Amino acid sequence: MYPTKPKIGISIGDINGIGLEVILKTLAIKEVRDRCIPIIYGSSKVVSYHKNIIWVEDFPFQPLRVGERPNPDRINVVNCWQDNINITLGKPTDISGKYAIISLEQAAKDLKEKVIDALVTAPVSKEALQMAQFPHVGHTEYLTQVMGAKHSLMMMVEDELRVGLVTNHLPINQIASTISKELILAKLHVFYESLKVDFGLERPTIAVLALNPHASDGGLIGNEEERFIRPAVVEAKKGGMMVLGPFPADGFFGSGQYKKYNGILAMYHDQGLIPFKTLAFGGGINFTAGLAGIRTSPDHGTGFDIAGKNMADHTSFLHALFLAIDLARNRNEYVEMHANALIKREKPAELEEEASADNLEEDAGR
């Protein structure tokens, strides 16, 4: 158990979008501040700019230098830069991309070094990141590399609904050639371990979706199910995982089958996210499983069309922050519990055998 409130880092995302608006609205809730120590990575100047636009009143924040100890009773704002920035609300720019990267890099560094217990990332613009020469597709790919993970899993979460992806931000014409038995197995292992460690499920069940319509209809519509997906499911079962499938994706959610499983593994982005957002839009959370640190984010984008208008709904960001708190506690408790379980305790019979052996040695030496 954490002896104190967990430290939750927050990267500010695109300064021209709604990221800081949903951050400010979330942290203005006292219950949130009672449950964690929030640490925003950005600039007190930029935070003040957005605070004045949306008129958040209860927002007691304290500026910090990089590496300075956070105040457990305040909202901490780490000044990752001192520059005066031109904010162009509602528009992705190279400037907004540059400072989104700076915020993310410092937050990721602190997550890796365990300065913070979890990280919540506000939305970024992939267009702005590209303008700023960011060499990654998005948060998930960047954090996977920085945290040194061989495999991570993009997981969408809303209460008991958890959807993981075999492939993330990949063009449709590259999906079939990317999927393999080894990749599916790697994602299943990450999914299964995360359900146990992060969500506290002792024997989680996972449903695997097919790639092709009607699960290929016995090979009439593609053959990826027989070549890659079914063999991966069979091997996962042999390894002790509770995995079933592949299921035809078209009727899986509409029929309510998804309710029977702790997790659903989809083959590609839209296959998993279209039904997920239909069922959970506005309250869903993006969680990157398989990392050495906890990272969550809201399930929406930068909202450039409503930036600066005080219209953004902060529900998803609020849920992302609460999930980060819960996952950090769950993982910490799991590690502590299993560390204690590994302590080998000598049995009375073993102690008696050792004592007898000692006596025999003493007798032999006389």
Cβ atoms of residues 60 and 44 within 8 Å: no
Give the structural domain span for 272. Answer: 151-288
Looking at the fold, whether 319 and 333 belong to one and the same domain comes out as yes
Residues 102, 12: one domain?
Answer: yes
Q: Are 280 and 158 in contact (CB under 8 A)?
A: yes
**Structure token pair of residue 142:** 């960047």
Same domain assignment for residues 126 and 224:
no
How high is the pLDDT of residue 340?
A: 65
282 and 216 in a common domain: yes
CATH of residue 84: 3.40.718.10
Mark whether 2 and 65 lie in a shared domain.
Answer: yes
The tens place of each residue's pLDDT in the chain, 366 residues long, gives 455 799 999 999 999 999 999 999 999 999 999 999 999 999 999 999 999 998 887 899 999 999 999 999 999 999 999 999 999 999 999 999 999 999 999 999 999 999 999 999 999 999 999 999 999 988 999 999 999 999 999 999 999 999 999 999 899 999 999 999 999 999 999 999 999 999 999 999 999 999 999 988 888 888 999 999 999 999 999 999 999 999 999 999 999 999 999 999 999 999 999 999 999 877 889 999 999 999 999 989 999 999 999 999 999 999 999 999 999 999 989 888 877 655 444 444 443 444 444 443 344 344
* pLDDT tens per residue across span 151-195: 999 999 999 999 999 999 899 999 999 999 999 999 999 999 999
Residue 338: predicted pLDDT:
78
Q: In the chain, how many domains are there?
A: 2
3-state secondary structure of 90: coil
141 and 273, same domain (yes or no): no
Cα distance between residue 72 and residue 84, in whole Å: 28
Residues 271 and 310 in one domain: no
Residues 224 and 141 in one domain: no
The values of phi and psi at residue 110, to 5°, are -70, -35
Contact 302, 19 (CB under 8 A): yes
Reduced 3-state DSSP string for 2-45: CCCCCEEEEECCCCCCCHHHHHHHHHCCHHHHHHCEEEEEECHH
Domain final residue, candidates 288, 308, 323: 288
Tokens at 137, concatenated = 């597709």
In one letter, which amino acid is 57? E
Final residue in a domain of this structure, among 288, 315, 332? 288
Last residue of a domain, one of 254, 288, 322: 288
192 and 278 inside one domain? yes
Structure tokens, 293: 């640190």
Tokens of 191: 């999914």
